Amino acid sequence: MAHPGRQPYNHIMRSRRSLSDAFDRLPAAIRAGVWMTTAGASFTGMMAIARILAPEIHVFEISLFRGLFGFFFLIPYVARVRGRAFRTANQRLMAARGVVAFGTQMCLFSAATLIPLADIAAINFTRPIFATIAAILILHETSLGRRWWAIAVGFAGAMIVVRPGFADINVGVAFVFGAVVQQSANAVLMRYLAYSDPPDTIALYQTVYVVLWSLIPTLFVWTTPGWEHLAWFTAIGLLGTITQRALARAYVAAEASLVVALDFLRLPVSALIGFVVFGQVPAIWVWLGGGVIVVSTILLTRRESRPAAPRGGG
């Protein structure tokens, strides 16, 4: 006979399984869109915290603690699967992705101290151009006309967003474009790893390698953090972990070029977080460009969700 105290727990677990099964039955493009929206929200929150901390803590140290606290939130996964958490046949690719992830963080955290977050998000939308080309040339993914159309429209929307601020070019813009190139390489590596490794293992190894690459430079710029800093580090570690786990699941759900195109969903999320946290009211150009991007993303998702037409006459 089941213990009465376990009945609510069993009911919760059955409900979670039902929701998970229902989600898994959704079209790949919709599942990828949900994961990318989650990743965009958590990533934007992480950038906002980095912007708050940067005047007092060097970006190397922010990266180090982001990895350390991120690993803390992966401990339940490690405990659940034990030795299998670190089991991979792609150690070199994991290490390479760690280098790329560390370089990306350095570029983005540095850019956050030099230019507005909205500019970073908008310039970051050039990434699908590089990532789609990389996915087609390296992963040999199919190049559908509707994808190029959606990416072109989304890129045009991003240009509408940044048009008023493009007169003042500084080093921060170069940092963001450096991050874009590295993120494109990361997309290809993620897709390769997703063929054989679980999403949580991919996120775990990125966290481990980012900590390793951050440790040495941090020793030269160390600032002893206070309790308030530790609270922010905890938050940034949690958001960073959510970002990586959501991204990994998005790349499992759909092809790299489609996943990167869906990253346009980050713009309205970034605008909302910017308003709530910093009181930033986006200019009309942000909403106009964001509308173009959202429309292109919705059209892409709807087209990708349609079942393929049957071939042949019989």
DSSP readout, 24-52? Answer: HTS-HHHHHHHHHHHHHHHHHHHHHHHHH
Of 229 and 151, the one with more pLDDT: 229
Looking at residue 309, its pLDDT comes to 46
Looking at residue 242, its pLDDT comes to 86
Looking at residue 177, its pLDDT comes to 83
Chain segment 31-68, per-residue pLDDT in tens: 888 888 888 888 888 888 988 898 899 999 998 998 88
For residue 175, give its domain range: 27-305
From the number of C-beta atoms within 10 Å of its C-beta (0-12, 13-18, 19+), residue 77 rates as middle
CA-nearest of 231, 239, 265, 234 to 250 is 265
Assigned domain for 314 exists: no
> pTM higher than 0.85 for the full model?
no
Assigned domain for 312 exists: no
CA-nearest of 298, 241, 222 to 77 is 241
Assigned domain for 241 exists: yes
Q: Does the pLDDT of residue 311 top 80, yes or no?
A: no
Chain segment 187-212, per-residue pLDDT in tens: 778 777 877 888 778 878 888 888 99
Looking at residue 128, its pLDDT comes to 66
Looking at residue 47, its pLDDT comes to 86
Chain segment 222-256, per-residue pLDDT in tens: 999 999 999 999 999 888 878 877 877 887 887 76
Low-confidence winner among 115-119, 133-137, 202-206, 250-254 (lowest mean pLDDT) = 133-137
- Is the four-CA dihedral 20, 246, 49, 235 of positive or negative sign? positive
Q: Does the pLDDT of residue 164 top 80, yes or no?
A: no
Assigned domain for 214 exists: yes
Are 162 and 121 contacting, i.e. CB atoms less than 8 angstroms apart?
no
Mean pLDDT score of the chain: 76
What confidence category does residue 138 fall into, taking pLDDT thresholds of 50, 70 and 90?
A: low
Question: 175 Cβ partners below 8 Å, 6+ apart?
Answer: 107, 108, 110, 111, 114
Looking at residue 257, its pLDDT comes to 63
How many domains are contained in the chain?
1
In whole angstroms, give the CA distance from residue 127 to residue 106.
Answer: 17
Chain segment 86-113, per-residue pLDDT in tens: 788 788 888 988 899 899 989 998 888 8
CA-nearest of 288, 270, 283, 272 to 117 is 270
Assigned domain for 17 exists: no
Assigned domain for 4 exists: no
Chain segment 252-296, per-residue pLDDT in tens: 887 766 776 677 777 777 777 777 877 776 677 767 777 777 676
Instruction: Report the interhelical angle of 227-253 vs 59-72 (nearest 10°).
Output: 70
Assigned domain for 192 exists: yes
Assigned domain for 2 exists: no
